[in-house]
Structure 1
Amino acid sequence: MKKIENPWRGMKGYHCFGCDPHSEQGLRMEFYEDGEEIVSVWHPRPEFQGWVDTLHGGIQATLADEISSWVVFRKFQTSGVTSRMEVRYHRPIHTTDERIVLRAAVRQQRRNLVEIGVRIFDGAGTLCTEATCLYFLFPKEKAREEFHFCDCSVADGEFDPLKA
């Protein structure tokens, strides 16, 4: 896998709840490219529970939404917005898990609409949650001018976040 570089890291005014690595309250997600998939290995924290030791469903939806945006950034080199999202919760995810793994990929594209499939696995590797996000892609010029999008590239060398 290749680590995706966060193009906004250190930018003034950048405080994304999902991916700002310095957000005290945020998710602090990082992303990797694994062929056609974007992967995130995320470490649950107790403050994100709904029921005791159970990851809140809204946080799971936010994780799915965030990784979907990174599919757009990396695979289309632009930004966009979530137009629709459907989440199916199959099994609980525990905040006591050392890590969970998210995998997302493009399912289909129709003009400027992209359907992205997301799977969330618990610490044991069991599929717990699935989401489908429909993303509206911005034209690249609009993404650059209005949303400060720049190149979404990967770092040199291979990295396996599952072994780190």
Structure 2
Amino acid sequence: MKNKLEDDKHCFACGEKNPNGLNLKFSLRDGKVFAEFILHKTYQGYKDIVHGGIISTLLDEAMVKVALLQGVPVVTAEITVRLKNPLMIGEKAIVEAHITEKHRRIIETSAIIKKLDGTLIAEGYAKLLRQD
């Protein structure tokens, strides 16, 4: 039996009631999700650089959100992240994700984070397990 997935608005990545979270706001357009963001020092690793774990969280959230916003409840089963360039604290960036393949129980997705000038920060790939 699968757990019932409930959104109580306290998700670390997108929860509007989480004062310590990332508070991402996603929009769905043409089968892709997008969210612009700026991160402050709370989320840094090395001086003035966003922590790699936060970058991974952003990618994971976008890949799950692309399925959720299309009515498919999922959880992450497997994720691969490739960090390409540092993202500086206070720098505006965008995360985007789309579904690459659908199987009976698994949905495959990919995501990128890029600066507004197009510089690639990171890319991710995930296999999501359907919960419906």
1:82 aligns with 2:76: yes
Report how far residue 93 of structure 1 moved. 0.8
3-state SS, counterpart of residue 69 of structure 2: helix
> Structure 1: which amino acid aligns with 2:34?
V
Q: Please name the residue that 1:110 is paired with.
A: 103
Residue matched to 1:93: 87
CA contact (8 A) 1:21 1:28 kept: yes
Deviation (angstroms), 1:17: 0.6
Gaps of 5+ in 2: 1-5
C-alpha distance in structure 2 between counterparts of 1:109 and 1:79, whole Å: 13
Q: Deviations over 1:12-57 (max 9, x none)?
A: x441111111311101000011212110111111110001111100
Say whether the 8 Å CA contact 2:31–2:66 is kept in structure 1: no
Which contiguous aligned blocks of 4+ residues in structure 1 show a shift greater than 3 angstroms? none
Is the CA contact 2:28–2:66 (under 8 Å) kept in the aligned structure 1? no
Instruction: Give, in whole Å, the separation in 2 of the partners of 1:125 and 1:47.
Output: 25
Q: Which amino acid aligns with 1:78?
A: V
Q: Judging changes above 3 Å, is the alpha-carbon distance between structure 1 residues 18 and 69 closer, same or farther for their aligned structure 2 residues?
A: same
In the comparison of the two structures, how many residue pairs are matched?
127
TM-fit CA distance, 1:78: 2.7
Corresponding residue number in structure 1 for 2:122: 129
Structure 1 unaligned runs (5+)?
1-6, 140-164
Q: Which has the larger radius of gyration?
A: 1
Aligned match of 2:3: none
- 2-structure distance, mates of 1:136, 1:42: 27
Q: Identify which of 14, 19, 30 aligns with 2:25.
A: 30
TM-score, length of structure 2 as denominator length? 0.90
**Cα displacement (A) at 1:123:** 3.9
Specify the alignment match of 2:51 in structure 1. 56
Alpha-carbon distance between aligned partners in 1 of 2:9 and 2:98, rounded to the nearest angstrom? 25
User: SS where residue 108 of structure 1 aligns?
Assistant: strand
**Structure 1 residues 123-148: Cα deviation after superposition (integer angstroms, max 9, x where no partner):** 43211100001100111xxxxxxxxx
Amino acid at match of 1:130: E
Aligned to 2:108, the other structure's residue is in SS state strand
After TM superposition, the score normalised by the length of structure 1 is 0.73
Q: What is the aligned partner in structure 2 of residue 44 from structure 1?
A: 39
